[in-house]
């Protein structure tokens, strides 16, 4: 059997184990989720790193299979695509996810978009205006490093928009994501969940190394004073925008190796769910062999 039959290192599908919405339909407070836990995974850090390397081959294969769909000429509609949304408090490990999980795939079929504070031009438009150009093309996997959710997270906590506007946006986001899904895009939304204490240690580590100073932003310390409000804003956002087709997952992230392994597996499960097959040749293979042999 080929390598890609290697099983998931997790005891159960992560789409179930890490889903933000509980079986009773509610999204529990983030205080109920232990950021240091490793749901579904039995091993330690060394096991986790080994599993990441092994499963990376499967993710790479599945992403190539997705990319191959873009060449289908016979498709009834556009080829499928995948959108991974990553949200988190600062230092929670978004960068590591980009390097170690996203970076392991073929850059030809993967687009990473980092959404920073909006420009003046972007602020002059609807909050989804700057998002649309970065949606995945058919066959592509797009990754959002922050996203349209900033407009209901920081905007809610810091009052950057009136509360009524924030409230309206949850519905606009649901409609937006429903539209994207209808167009053939599978959406996976991840919140990397770290503890406030772990964040302090990571920020201190950045101060300890001059080569990391450029990553430190004093504004990140300001935000710590609003930690509980952020956790609440995350819970509300997930409660209001988690749907069957655009689900939210809470990934414990105090252990970086676990968060990476979990996001990798969520991508694998999503790609497997597409049940893709390699496109068949739309040409005569033997005829092409003869033409090649002739010159």
Does the footprint of a second copy cover residue 126 (CB under 8 A)?
Answer: no
Torsion sign over Cα 131, 134, 140, 143: negative
Record the tokens describing residue 48, joined without a space: 């986790």
The binder of a second copy chosen from 126, 171, 207, 245 (CB under 8 A): 207
Of 216, 237, 54, 75, the closest CA to residue 149 belongs to 237
Query: Which span sits near a second copy by CB under 8 A: 50-58, 76-84, 147-155, 220-228?
Result: 220-228
Contact string (CB under 8 A) for a second copy, positions 147-186, x = contact: ----------------------------------------
Is there binding between residue 74 and a second copy (CB under 8 A)?
A: no
Using the rule CB under 8 A, is 117 a contact of a second copy? Answer: no
Tokens 């105090």 sit at which residue? 254
The 3-state secondary structure of 201-266 reads HHHHHHHHCHHHHHHCCHHHHHHHCCHHHHHHHHHHHHHHHCCCCCCEEEEECCCHHHHHHHHHHH
Mask 21-60, x = binds a second copy (CB under 8 A)? ----------------------------------------
Give the residue with the Cβ less far from a second copy, 12 or 106: 106
Q: How far is the CB of 185 from a second copy (least distance, A)?
A: 19
Helix spans in the chain (H) = 14-17, 45-69, 94-100, 120-123, 150-157, 163-182, 196-208, 218-224, 227-241, 256-273, 285-293
The one among 17, 50, 98, 276 contacting a second copy by CB under 8 A:
98
Q: Which is nearer to a second copy, 124 or 214 (CB)?
A: 214
Tell whether residue 102 is a contact of a second copy (CB under 8 A).
yes
> Between β-strands 185-193 and 110-114, what pairing exists: parallel, antiparallel or unpaired?
unpaired
The one-character DSSP state at 108 is G
Residue found under tokens 């993967």: 110
Per-residue mark of binding to a second copy, 265-284 (x: CB under 8 A): -------------xxxx-x-
Query: Does position 292 bind a second copy by CB under 8 A?
Result: yes
7 binds a second copy (CB under 8 A): no
In the complex, least distance from residue 282 CB atom to a second copy, rounded to whole angstroms: 9
Using rule CB under 8 A, residue 71 touches a second copy? yes
Dist CA 221 CA 241 (whole Å): 28
Give the number of other Cβ atoms within 10 Å of residue 26's Cβ: 11
Residue 228 as a binder of a second copy (CB under 8 A): the answer is no
Per CB under 8 A, 1 contacts a second copy: no
240 vs 236: CA distance, rounded Å: 6
The residues binding a second copy (CB under 8 A) are: 68, 71-72, 95, 98-99, 102-108, 110, 112, 114, 143, 145, 200, 203-204, 207, 210-211, 213-216, 218, 221, 224-225, 278-281, 283, 285, 288-289, 291-292, 295
């Amino acid at each position: 059997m080929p390598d890609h039959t290697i099983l998931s290192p997790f005891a159960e599908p992560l789409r179930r184990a890490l889903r933000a919405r509980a079986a009773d339909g509610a999204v529990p407070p983030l205080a109920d989720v232990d950021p240091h836990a490793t749901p579904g995974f039995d091993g330690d850090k060394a096991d986790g790193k080994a599993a990441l390397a092994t499963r990376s081959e499967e993710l790479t294969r599945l992403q190539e299979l997705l990319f191959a769909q873009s060449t289908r000429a016979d498709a009834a509609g556009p080829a499928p695509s995948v959108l991974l949304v990553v949200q988190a408090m600062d230092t929670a490990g978004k960068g590591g996810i980009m390097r170690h999980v996203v970076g392991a795939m073929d850059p030809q079929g993967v687009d990473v978009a980092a959404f920073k504070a909006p420009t003046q031009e972007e602020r002059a438009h609807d909050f989804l205006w700057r998002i649309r150009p970065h949606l995945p093309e058919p066959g592509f996997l797009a990754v959002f490093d922050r996203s349209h959710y900033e407009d209901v997270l920081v905007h809610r906590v810091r009052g950057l928009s009136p509360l009524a506007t924030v409230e309206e946006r949850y519905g606009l986001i649901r409609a937006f994501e429903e539209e994207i899904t209808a167009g053939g895009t599978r959406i996976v939304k991840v919140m990397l969940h770290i503890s406030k204490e772990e964040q302090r240690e990571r920020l201190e580590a950045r101060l300890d190394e001059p080569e990391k100073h450029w990553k430190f932003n004093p504004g990140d310390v300001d935000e710590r004073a609003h930690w509980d409000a952020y956790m609440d804003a995350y819970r509300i956002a997930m409660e209001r925008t988690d749907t069957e087709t655009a689900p939210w997952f809470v990934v414990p992230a105090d252990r970086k190796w676990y968060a990476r392994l979990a996001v990798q597996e969520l991508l694998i499960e999503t790609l497997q769910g597409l049940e893709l097959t390699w496109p068949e040749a739309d040409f005569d293979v033997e005829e092409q062999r003869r033409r090649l042999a002739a010159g």
